[in-house]
Structure 1
Amino acid sequence: MKDQPSPIRETDDEARKLARVLLRSARHAAIAVLDPETGFPFASRVLLATDIDGVPVILVSRLSAHTKALAKDPRASLLTGEPGKGDPLAYGRLTTQCMAEPVENGHPFHERIRTRFLDRHPKAKLYIDFPDFLFFRLKPERASLNGGFGRAYHLDGRDLIIQSPANEEIAAKAAETVRDLVERHPDVAAMLAVRLNAPESASWRICGIDPAGFEIISGDLLVRYEFETLAVDSDHICSNISKIAYSIP
């Protein structure tokens, strides 16, 4: 009997880019944790954002079952990727196995994560500062990408993390960078939406930047764009965004 060919393809740059976009463009995800009482997997839904290094971030209540589970065992899996019309299995999805790290008020990353989370989920302002809520950074350890039928890949956690020495500098100047860019080009978000073939909407805005790319958002719609190479500083990000928005199609 002949050996069956492996269904797993060799991971290439195209697969890595698709995986990063599926993770970084998700506004919500299914999360699976281990129930501390039974040991059974427990799945729920969480809002999702990303930290400056691309690590996914969730905001959860201490009273929820998945928060109590993460306090006992930090292992978790995230499922991201939205189906469209027709067979949902024909669309790309990413399962990311993570280690959860709590980020409570007073943590060095807390204010940065809070700002980035609210940029993506402004309605969370109603409860984000409640004492029974906290953030977790879900650091990727490994991932499984299914890009559609016949397109399966295994990825290392490092494939999903932005490993740049400019992370902290860009994070510190992120709000100022976006503000200055919009002041110089008031229509930049609308132009980006056109260039990226985003769904029609009257209220697109830039909601996040990092060395690897940026996001624009309008209501429940979010579009992620990945740069070809990592930006080295905030000026580099502005230059990249301007070129994308105002280049001749």
Structure 2
Amino acid sequence: MKEPSSTLRETDDEARKLARTLLRSARYAALAVLDAETGFPFASRVLLGTDIDGVPVILVSALSTHTKALATDARASLLTGEPGKGDPLAYPRLTTQCRAEQVERDTPLHARIRARFLGRHAKAALYIDFPDFRFFRLIPQWASLNGGFGRAYVLDGSDLVIHSLANDDIAEKADAAVQDLIVRHPDLLSKLTLRLKASEAGPWRICGVDSAGFDMISGDLLVRCEFDTPAEDLDHICSNISKIAYLIP
């Protein structure tokens, strides 16, 4: 953990929520590794997903420089956060320093991550099962949040991870529970689109659920909604989603 300095603000729940949203709402990120041959930093762009515990996940080819680098040195850094119009430095961004862990094929963990990744990146189905492609979980160690000018924070890696005993059960049953919720409430997605002020582009669908929130996607657009308090089980998740959809703005 880095020593705080006078330029840093005290990390509060608002900063933690912003950091989690920046990380979990990103469909891609800048990945920096240490080049295995030169030792120099090497940055590239990668597609980004999240596991059920909020840990960021990447799908990479064994032929790429960054994959070879991670095989030699597991340390990596992710930059997430998108600029808009005007000064790009006025927009929040998050640098997350991680340790990469390769996900073994033909395991329940691989199957879970594969399904969640395709929910967010449908076009990855074209190559996701190629023999040279593999997943890495990037375990957050600490993070630096810049929320805009004068808003700098340091976060512990645990601030970005979802700590819940229900993670495995949610991962196994979430898709079915969400589909059942939509069947019982046919206008749910349209209500959520309005509540979350999503773009008019559509149709929108829920592409990922965990105990801390859920993701909605439409084409290349993704919106992350964090719950006020983490859900304890699937019923609590469905209840939270319904409340968000049907509460009066």
Q: TM-score, normalised by structure 1?
A: 0.97
The equivalent of 1:163 in structure 2 is 163
SS at match of 1:109: helix
SS in 1 for 2:137: strand
- Give distance in 1, aligned partners of 2:225 and 2:190: 14
Q: Partner of 1:48: helix, strand, or coil?
A: strand
Task: Give me the whole-angstrom Cα distance separating, in 2, the residues matched to 1:31 and 1:184.
Answer: 41
Corresponding residue pairs, total? 245
Distance 1:202 1:80 in 2: 24
User: Cα deviations across residues 62-93 of structure 1 (Å, max 9, x unaligned)?
Assistant: 10000000001000000000000000000000
Cα contact 1:34–1:76 (8 A) shared by 2:
yes
Q: CA deviation at 1:105?
A: 1.2
What displacement does 1:202 show? 2.6
How big is the shift at 1:193? 1.0
Structure 1 window deviating more from structure 2 (130-139 vs 172-181): it is: 172-181
CA distance in 2, matches of 1:111, 1:225: 24
Contact 1:192 1:244 in 2 (8 A): yes
Match of 1:92 in 2: 92
Q: Distance in 1 between matches of 2:61 and 2:104?
A: 12
User: Contact 1:190–1:205 (CA<8 Å) still a contact in 2?
Assistant: no
- 1:37 corresponds in structure 2 to 37
Question: Match of 2:244?
Answer: 244
Matches within 5 A, 1:158-197: 158-197=158-197
TM-score, normalized by length of structure 2? Answer: 0.97
1:5-84 alignment, distance < 5 Å: 6-84=6-84
Unaligned runs of 5+ in 2: none
For residues 189 and 72 of structure 1, what CA distance do their matches in structure 2 show?
Answer: 44
Partner of 1:133: 133
Q: What is the rounded CA distance, in whole Å, between the counterparts of 2:202 and 2:93 in structure 1?
A: 29
RMSD of aligned Cα (Å):
0.9
**What secondary structure sits across from 2:108 in the alignment?**
coil
Give 1:181 shift: 1.2
Does the Cα contact within 8 Å between 1:15 and 1:153 map onto a contact in 2? Answer: yes
State yes or no: 1:209 paired with 2:209: yes
The DSSP-based 3-state class of the residue aligned with 1:230 is coil
Letter of the 1:87 counterpart: D
Which stretch shows the higher mean deviation, 184-193 or 154-163?
Answer: 184-193
Shift of 1:185: 1.5
Match of 1:102 in 2: 102
- Alpha-carbon shift at residue 186 of structure 1 (Å): 2.2
Q: Secondary structure at the match of 2:33?
A: strand
CA deviation digits over 1:197-247, x for unaligned, max 9?
111123100000000000110001100011011101111111110111111
Confirm or deny: 8 A CA contact 2:202 2:219 kept in the other structure: no
Q: Which amino acid aligns with 1:71?
A: A
Gaps of 5+ in 1: none
Match of 1:154 in 2: 154
Q: Deviations over 1:32-56 (max 9, x none)?
A: 0000111100000000010000000
Q: Tell me the SS of whatever aligns to 2:148.
A: coil
CA distance in 1, matches of 2:126, 2:187: 29
Runs of 4 or more, structure 1, over 4 Å off, are none
